[in-house]
């Protein structure tokens, strides 16, 4: 690529690909697990995915240090793991089939009626929460303001992802043992603390501690939210449910960073991150009032057929 429109097109295609990939991938993870170990399954996936990202960053850093003009070579080399992943998916992964039932073509509105109250409340809570879930960019800018030197900013990002990878599988175990709804609730509470800490604390040491907590939050939220949505959705509609989940988070991301940026620019970082914290509190209350007291009845959505 030698012009910004081509780069924009490639970046757009990358995001479209991620959108197409996410729901089917999570649906496969859910299909190969049951309610008793689904948290572990999603935790293992997030651990491996994030570990790969961390390893990729390290390999890229080595290549950039050794090569004179490494960018083109790095992008070409990145095709190799992608091709290997496609090969494994096509040759070794077989989709688990549910018991065959008579299905009629129905509209999206009719499909939504099949989801129960718990699913709709869970999605509403996640969307409200995601409207305040700021991007990495804001946290990294804030870290520099707090006193982290510029050359250490990439290390802060790497450190956060290492914590994320380490915490993902234990988060899945906790979700299975304590309940996905309770662990998801704890991630909302943790994010509330992180938001206000980013807004009002100062000092480089505080920034490193907050990023460690942020890595834990990412692990707990990503694992418990997907496992919980998969649990409360009907087995034959899990792909649709996870598609709604990813679409909701994606659309909520548009106002999230925009509003935080406007508030930060106009009133300071405390107000910007405070906005995120307040939305997290609203989502926490919604999840607490409508889900925690309802108990965990997710087993009733497990398929009766065997793959």
CATH architecture of 10-95+106-298: Up-down Bundle (1.20)
pLDDT of residue 119 exceeding 90, the answer is no
Q: How far is CA 218 from CA 46, 90, 200, in A?
A: 10, 30, 21
Q: CA-to-CA distance for 25 and 17, rounded, in angstroms?
A: 12
Least confident of 18-27, 105-114, 147-156, 226-235: 105-114
Quote the pTM value.
0.84
Over 122-145, what HEC string results? HHHHHHHHHCCCCCHHHHHHHHHH
Which pLDDT tens digit goes with each residue over 121-179?
Answer: 889 999 999 999 988 889 999 999 999 999 899 899 999 999 999 999 999 999 999 99
How crowded is the C-beta side of 84, counted as CA atoms within 13 Å?
5
Say what percent of the chain tops pLDDT 90: 49
3-state secondary structure of 12: helix
pLDDT of residue 299 exceeding 50, the answer is no
The DSSP 8-state label assigned to residue 107 in this structure reads: -
Q: Report, as an integer, the average pLDDT of 71-90.
A: 81
Comparison of pLDDT for 85 and 219, the residue scoring more: 219
Q: CA-to-CA distance for 222 and 220, rounded, in angstroms?
A: 6
User: Domain spans of the chain?
Assistant: 10-95+106-298
Say how many C-beta atoms besides its own lie within 10 A of residue 64's C-beta.
Answer: 13
Helices (H) and strands (E) counted in the chain, each on its own, are 12, 0
pLDDT of residue 88 exceeding 90, the answer is no
Written as six digits, the tokens of 52 are 């790969």
Neighbour-count burial for 126-138, b at 16+ CB within 10 Å, e otherwise: bbbbbbbbbeeeb
pLDDT of residue 298 exceeding 50, the answer is no
3-state secondary structure of 296: coil
| Site of tokens 């043992």 | 177
Which pLDDT tens digit goes with each residue over 214-270?
Answer: 999 999 999 999 999 998 888 888 888 999 999 999 899 888 889 999 999 999 999
pLDDT of residue 307 exceeding 60, the answer is no
Say what percent of the chain tops pLDDT 70: 87
Q: How far is CA 107 from CA 19, 26, 44, 112, 119, in A?
A: 22, 23, 35, 9, 19
pLDDT of residue 111 exceeding 90, the answer is no
Q: Judge contact between 211 and 159, C-beta under 8 A.
A: yes
The pLDDT of residue 223: 96
Q: Report, as an integer, the average pLDDT of 73-91.
A: 82
Q: Judge contact between 215 and 167, C-beta under 8 A.
A: yes
Q: Note the helical H segments in the chain.
A: 4-31, 38-66, 70-77, 79-91, 108-113, 117-130, 136-146, 153-178, 180-200, 204-232, 238-267, 269-290
Q: Judge contact between 121 and 291, C-beta under 8 A.
A: yes
Q: What angle do CA 36, 39, 42 make, to 5 degrees?
A: 135
The pLDDT of residue 103: 52
pLDDT of residue 306 exceeding 90, the answer is no
């Amino acid at each position: 690529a030698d012009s910004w429109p081509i780069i924009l097109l490639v970046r757009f295609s990358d995001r479209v690909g991620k959108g197409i990939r996410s729901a089917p991938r999570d649906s496969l993870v859910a299909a190969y697990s049951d309610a008793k170990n689904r948290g572990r399954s999603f935790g293992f996936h997030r651990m491996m995915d994030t570990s790969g990202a961390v390893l990729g960053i390290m390999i890229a850093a080595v290549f950039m240090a050794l090569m004179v003009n490494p960018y083109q070579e790095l992008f070409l080399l990145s095709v190799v793991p992608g091709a290997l992943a496609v090969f494994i998916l096509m040759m070794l992964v077989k989709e688990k089939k549910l018991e065959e039932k008579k299905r009629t073509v129905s509209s999206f509105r009719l499909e939504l009626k099949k989801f129960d109250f718990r699913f709709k409340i869970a999605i509403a809570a996640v969307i409200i929460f995601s409207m305040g879930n700021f991007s990495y960019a804001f946290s990294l800018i804030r870290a520099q303001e707090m006193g982290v030197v510029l050359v250490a900013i990439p290390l802060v990002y790497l450190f956060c992802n290492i914590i994320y990878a380490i915490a993902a599988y234990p988060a899945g175990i906790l979700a299975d043992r304590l309940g996905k709804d309770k662990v998801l609730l704890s991630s909302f509470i943790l994010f509330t603390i992180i938001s206000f800490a980013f807004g009002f604390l100062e000092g480089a040491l505080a920034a490193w501690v907050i990023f460690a907590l942020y890595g834990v939050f990412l692990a707990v939220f990503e694992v418990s939210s997907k496992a919980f949505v998969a649990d409360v959705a009907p087995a034959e509609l899990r792909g649709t449910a996870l598609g709604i989940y990813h679409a909701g988070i994606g659309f909520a991301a548009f106002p999230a960073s925009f509003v935080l940026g406007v508030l930060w620019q106009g009133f300071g970082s405390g107000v910007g991150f405070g906005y995120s914290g307040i939305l997290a509190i609203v989502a926490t209350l919604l999840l607490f009032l409508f889900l925690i007291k309802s108990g965990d009845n997710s087993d009733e959505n497990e398929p009766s057929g065997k793959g």
